[in-house]
Structure 1
Amino acid sequence: MAQCWYSMSTKTKERGKKKDQGYEANTYMTILLAITVPCLAMTSVSGFLIGIIFKNRVSLNAGLLELQASGYISSTPRNTISNFMVSGGSKAYYVLFNPSSLSTIASAAGKLIPYLSSTITGLMAFFAANSINQMSQEAQVHKLLTPKQLSVLLGLLVSGWHGLWDAICYRVKRGSKFDGPLFGVVSVLAITTILGSLIIPVIDTWFGFVVIPVEQTQLRINSPAVHLFGRGLISNDCTKNETGSPCNVITVMGKSYLISASEAFKVLHNASAINKVNYFPTDQPQAFLYLGDAASSSNVDFKASTFAVSTQCQPITYDCTHMHPNDSKFNCTPALTGDFNTLSTPVGVKLFSNSSLTENLPFTYQNSVYFATWAVKEQIDSTSFVDDPGVAYHSDTVETLSWILNCSSTVYEATYTWVNGTVTSFNTTLANSTLGGIMSGPFGNDRVNAALQCAVNFASAGNSSADIAETTAAFMSHAVLSLSVGAISSRRNIIEQSRSRVLLTRVPIIPFYFLITLKALYVCGIISLAAIIMIWSHPKEVAELRSQFTIDGLVGTIFREDKIHMPLSENSEEMGNGLQKSEESEIKVALLKRKEEWSYATVLLKSGEAVIQFV
């Protein structure tokens, strides 16, 4: 008989042990699933976002150092902060992907935070149950919670922001630290709630705001260069031909003709599809005009060599005429004298060997090139020059303007960089005398005088003789370059890079990594919290106590005292068997007034009669 009892007792213990092991396994499995599924989903979404960005990232080529244009960056603190908030910072990844899709993927991870928040609440319930259990067993009465503190604790575990706010208000009103597990629960839930429900959503929204489509420039270095935008002499022996004239001029029977005259005059009138004279301003009084390529555009950045000319003119009308009334004669030097009324052409140019204008030449192999230009212009509305000594009036019938300018043109060998359709650097070296001969050779051609007429018409619309001198100087620089193209050919660019526009999505680096880091910290924090709970809070032992930190647990404890020692289901509507459901249905809860105060009461039906018991 004793042996039979021992056998039955042993089997009962084994069944209890197996039951405890199964319950322990279920507890740990519940915790693992509660943190694994949301954390894994959140990590997967964040990893998917990182993968898309780096897989579709486009590296923008900075291009050649010599062909980089510097921009202005404002250093005002307010502007810097404002620009940072709007743009997300100057550093960014550029991705070939739809920006709205990126923002949607990034925000998808944030939608999993509420599930992780409930996991944190459940873990903290284990912590609270274990803490109260230990304090109860060790009789630490001064650390046990008051009913109000227990209410605050339950509010923290079930009410989210509202429970956290109630706890803070209670702490402020009480003016002392929290007792028992309240401090730990409040601290953890405050950190995770602020991080998960405030900071991460704000950064998520900011990330979606700064991720925008932008048109970016992609540079591709062409090595070797493929375009011929530079200019150089057509031949190394372009000093003289058999007649002694420059190689861009041919002399037949004492008359000079331009080589490539058709192209030269197209360039002069800005109608050429090959060559173009461009203007480059400087800080100095003189400006440069240089010979470029008509095909130059913002699509190609390059560094090239060419020729440039700078011309200065000064009015000498007063020195030549002394402004004698009704006297149209002028006498500047023995080599420059005549009568405005009897000139063969109303405009003209004469080349000289020096700035004193004492020796007239058909062309000269020297640099600078000196010349004089004159003009006679009939204009009845020219009141701006009445008191200007640089302009002479010499007719009684029609208001006729006359002027003489002493000019010099200097030729340079130039190297310039062209970036995004603009000259960013321009370096010059004084050219040798050969270039002076090439530039001065076309002066003996009558077509120069004809072309000068257009400049005279424009110059006469100025307000002073200084305006006339400036306009004429610019035209003469244009003219000597244009009429010299017969001796000039194209040269390959020194360096070159092509420029194209591509539509990309701009992903600022700071918001991107900030968002990923915060989400990683959030997930790692939850995993660490779960590990700590599983190691130090003994979830197997306090699993039954944890169920008391719910509305079901509180109500069941108050109104079902006969079952206080039985583990409660997480859902009070799901009981273990039909008998429990029947007993629960017989117990009712009433709210009655007792001694001027409202109190809860239980109503139990026994033999058809109601038995009321105040709680």
Structure 2
Amino acid sequence: MDIKRKPVPNDHSGETTTPQQNSSHMTGKFKDIGLAFFLVSIPLFVFSLLLLGLVSHFRVSHGHVPYSNLDFPGSQDEAGVYYVNLGATRLIFIASWSSSLAPALVGFALTMFSFPIAHNYLQLTRERRNVDLLTPYQLSIVLRLFTGGSLGALWTWVKYLHTWRSRRQNQAPALKGTAILATLCTFLAALVFLADTWVHLTTKTVQMIIATPLSSGIPYSMGLVPSCSFGNLTGPTDALGNCTILEAVTNIFLQRSETSLQVLNNISDSMIALSYLDEYTYVAPPPTAELSLRDYTASTFGMETQCNAVSTQCNLEALDGASTPFFCSEAFQGDVSVMDEEEVYPACSPNCYPNWYLTYFTNSQRNENETGYGLLKGGGNPFYFGLATLVNKASDAIPLNSTEIVGPIHGGVVYVLECNSTVYDVEYDSVNGTITRFDTSMSNDSVANIFKGALGATTVGTDYLKQSASIAVFSESMQELCHKFAMSFNRATLSVGASTLQPNDAIVAQERSTKLVTRIPKAPLYTLVLANMLFVVLGIALAIMAIARSGGEVREIQARLSIEGLVADRFEGRRAKERVESIEDLFEEKYGQESTRIVIHNSAHGGYEYQKLL
């Protein structure tokens, strides 16, 4: 049921003429190929260059730690990772452009491939190789693929292969080639999507820690004050008069005692006594917000004390209510239950009181007492002392079950210790508040005598030591009691001796600063770039193939291998058979004529058919 062809107005003369058959060819092949090539290759190429350019331009590095001994976790670039001084959100957004665009490129890739398909199909037609030509249903699949290469079209092809297996005709080369390319393009689009997802999942904002060296004026080392740093101070305590001790008729005073009391009570803003590995005690700068951002190497002084319980060895016993005597040697004996100071003085130092005997010795055999009349006789390093004490006198319970503990009849807890202490010159590294290196070398005798004299000849640390001895009896074992008191003695000695110390410059120091950067692993980044470049290479290859196979009448066939070509052939009559310059020229409607209307109507065979409405 064809309609009559109406005349077409002549734009130049105003007259109406009927379109005449001409010898023109379908044009626009280079335009179509160029546009498809541009869309398939150029955007992804530009996106890849932009992404790599941003990473390269804004890339930052931890650099090198100024001092190798102050290295810290996170100070080096992680292998296989870029750090970028650009927001992670922005970088991920730019990276996501590829996965957003890639699925839309499948159709344009197939547009370029349609030229080689048309070229081959024209040859097959001329050679009358009918078995290699498309069946109607195969043609419908090809047209669907050329329309956009959607997953739906590929699914139709897959169903055709498998559900029509026993009935279908052999696949025409045109269908097979088109479907394979559509599958390849879809796979590449999926690869871009997966690579982009990988980038999304692994790219994150992290803190980059950068260390910069600090110049002088960083007072983290501890050294002796000038008055204590020259001369031989190994003699009796009175030799320390210019350094730490002020001897008066009625008392022995500690010079700069306010420093010692501040350190002992943890209120000093320049020094603190800290423990290391629960074995050593050393003097260091107190924690501050500024110090928490700094790493340093410093020199200072430290101590190690070891104590053993000798109550049974010294024959400690609760003799009667008013007497708990002990006898370790002629140099170390007494009765810890004596309540009269006169019974203690002057045979003991100022660190001897009723119920408290802290006695220093001149040698490791502990057979010579050096604490007569409140003045120490000097000595070397290490030095030795003994302690016999009655603590917690108001208590009638003994918390620690040990043969080295005695409970006097009138209450309290008594024990006897023998100890030795060593003073060290210490050099240590502090990184992020943690000691990473702690090297010790034994201090000379003068340094040891300074610290021993400050504590032994004065009463500044006595109350702290008494309290420590009282608390120590709540230990789980006698060994633990000894260790606790030893650590307390270290702290008391260094804190009281802090009056002889002053802050000096650290040996080296660095400051850690942090900034937020984007961490992007190399593997997903380059996988995304590679996936993009595969599309680029595919676009170049398809463009070359399309240009090489577009000569002669290929453009005519390629243009008609489309839904427009099929519809025009079915409904536009003679016009669809004419040579035109554009596929749109096959339709009467383009010329302003009243066009045929299409209906889907009942057929004489009981089904439905397309009909042209006159």
With normalisation by structure 2, the TM-score equals: 0.82
Partner-residue secondary structure (3-state), 2:516 = strand
Report how far residue 403 of structure 1 moved.
1.6
Partner-residue secondary structure (3-state), 2:460 = helix
Q: Pairwise mapping of residues 429-468 of structure 1 onto structure 2 (< 5 A)?
A: 429-442=441-454, 443-468=456-481
Task: Give the aligned residue type for 1:206.
Answer: W
Task: Give the aligned residue type for 2:187.
Answer: I
Q: Pairwise mapping of residues 6-25 of structure 1 onto structure 2 (< 5 A)?
A: none
Asked if residue 150 in structure 1 is aligned to residue 110 in structure 2, the reply is no
Q: Pairwise mapping of residues 285-304 of structure 1 onto structure 2 (< 5 A)?
A: 287-294=279-286, 297-304=291-298
Partner-residue secondary structure (3-state), 1:124 = helix
Indicate the structure whose relative CO is greater, using CA pairs within 8 Å and at least 6 residues apart: 2
Give the distance between the partners of 1:499 and 1:124, measured in 2 at CA: 58
Gaps of 5+ in 2: 1-21, 339-343, 345-352, 371-375
**Native 8 Å contact 1:374 1:403 kept in 2:** yes
Give the distance between the partners of 1:101 and 1:115, measured in 2 at CA: 23
* Residue among 174, 186, 189 paired with 1:181: 174
Task: Give the aligned residue type for 2:207.
Answer: E
Report how far residue 91 of structure 1 moved.
4.0
Give the distance between the partners of 2:545 and 2:396, measured in 1 at CA: 97
Question: Cα 1:30–1:252, aligned 2, differ >3 Å: closer, same or farther?
Answer: same
Q: Pairwise mapping of residues 245-284 of structure 1 onto structure 2 (< 5 A)?
A: 245=240, 248-253=243-248, 256-281=252-277
Task: Give the aligned residue type for 2:197.
Answer: T
Give the distance between the partners of 1:575 and 1:539, measured in 2 at CA: 28
Give the distance between the partners of 1:595 and 1:402, measured in 2 at CA: 119
**Native 8 Å contact 1:347 1:452 kept in 2:** no
Task: Give the aligned residue type for 1:128.
Answer: I
**Native 8 Å contact 1:121 1:189 kept in 2:** yes
Cα deviation 1:193-220 (Å, max 9, x = unaligned):
1221x22223323323433333332221
Question: Cα 1:57–1:247, aligned 2, differ >3 Å: closer, same or farther?
Answer: farther
Give the distance between the partners of 2:400 and 2:48, measured in 1 at CA: 80
Q: Pairwise mapping of residues 500-511 of structure 1 onto structure 2 (< 5 A)?
A: 500-511=513-524
Report how far residue 294 of structure 1 moved.
1.9
Task: Give the aligned residue type for 2:232.
Answer: T
Give the distance between the partners of 1:192 and 1:331, measured in 2 at CA: 97
Partner in structure 2 of residue 163 of structure 1 = 153
Partner in structure 2 of residue 552 of structure 1 = 564
Asked if residue 93 in structure 1 is aligned to residue 82 in structure 2, the reply is yes
Partner in structure 2 of residue 405 of structure 1 = 417
Q: Pairwise mapping of residues 95-244 of structure 1 onto structure 2 (< 5 A)?
A: 95-158=84-147, 160-173=150-163, 174=165, 178-196=171-189, 198-222=190-214, 224=215, 226-235=217-226, 236-240=229-233, 243-244=238-239
Partner-residue secondary structure (3-state), 2:560 = coil
**Native 8 Å contact 2:460 2:496 kept in 1:** no
Asked if residue 423 in structure 1 is aligned to residue 435 in structure 2, the reply is yes
Give the distance between the partners of 1:506 and 1:604, measured in 2 at CA: 65
Report how far residue 368 of structure 1 moved.
1.2
**Native 8 Å contact 2:316 2:327 kept in 1:** no
Question: Cα 1:179–1:385, aligned 2, differ >3 Å: closer, same or farther?
Answer: same
* Residue among 57, 64, 71 paired with 2:59: 57
Report how far residue 590 of structure 1 moved.
4.8
Cα deviation 1:403-449 (Å, max 9, x = unaligned):
22101111222221111111122222233323322221121212232
* Residue among 33, 36, 42 paired with 2:35: 33
Question: Cα 1:540–1:114, aligned 2, differ >3 Å: closer, same or farther?
Answer: farther
Give the distance between the partners of 1:374 and 1:570, measured in 2 at CA: 113
Task: Give the aligned residue type for 1:55.
Answer: H
With normalisation by structure 1, the TM-score equals: 0.82
Deviation larger for 170-179 or 553-562: 170-179
Question: Cα 1:458–1:62, aligned 2, differ >3 Å: closer, same or farther?
Answer: farther
Partner in structure 1 of residue 334 of structure 2 = 338
Report how far residue 335 of structure 1 moved.
0.6
Report how far residue 165 of structure 1 moved.
1.5
Identity of aligned residues (%): 23
Cα deviation 1:262-305 (Å, max 9, x = unaligned):
112211221111111111116xxxx1111111256221011222
Partner-residue secondary structure (3-state), 2:390 = strand
Question: Cα 1:170–1:454, aligned 2, differ >3 Å: closer, same or farther?
Answer: same
**Native 8 Å contact 2:297 2:506 kept in 1:** yes
Partner-residue secondary structure (3-state), 1:51 = helix
Gaps of 5+ in 1: 1-15, 72-88, 606-615
Partner in structure 1 of residue 403 of structure 2 = 389
Give the distance between the partners of 1:387 and 1:559, measured in 2 at CA: 111
**Native 8 Å contact 1:385 1:465 kept in 2:** no
Give the distance between the partners of 1:187 and 1:571, measured in 2 at CA: 29
Partner in structure 1 of residue 553 of structure 2 = 541
Residues matched between the structures, number: 556
Question: Cα 1:534–1:335, aligned 2, differ >3 Å: closer, same or farther?
Answer: same
Question: Cα 1:190–1:225, aligned 2, differ >3 Å: closer, same or farther?
Answer: farther
Deviation larger for 486-495 or 185-194: 486-495
Partner in structure 1 of residue 8 of structure 2 = none
Partner in structure 2 of residue 367 of structure 1 = 381
Task: Give the aligned residue type for 1:232.
Answer: G
Asked if residue 69 in structure 1 is aligned to residue 72 in structure 2, the reply is yes
Task: Give the aligned residue type for 1:506.
Answer: R
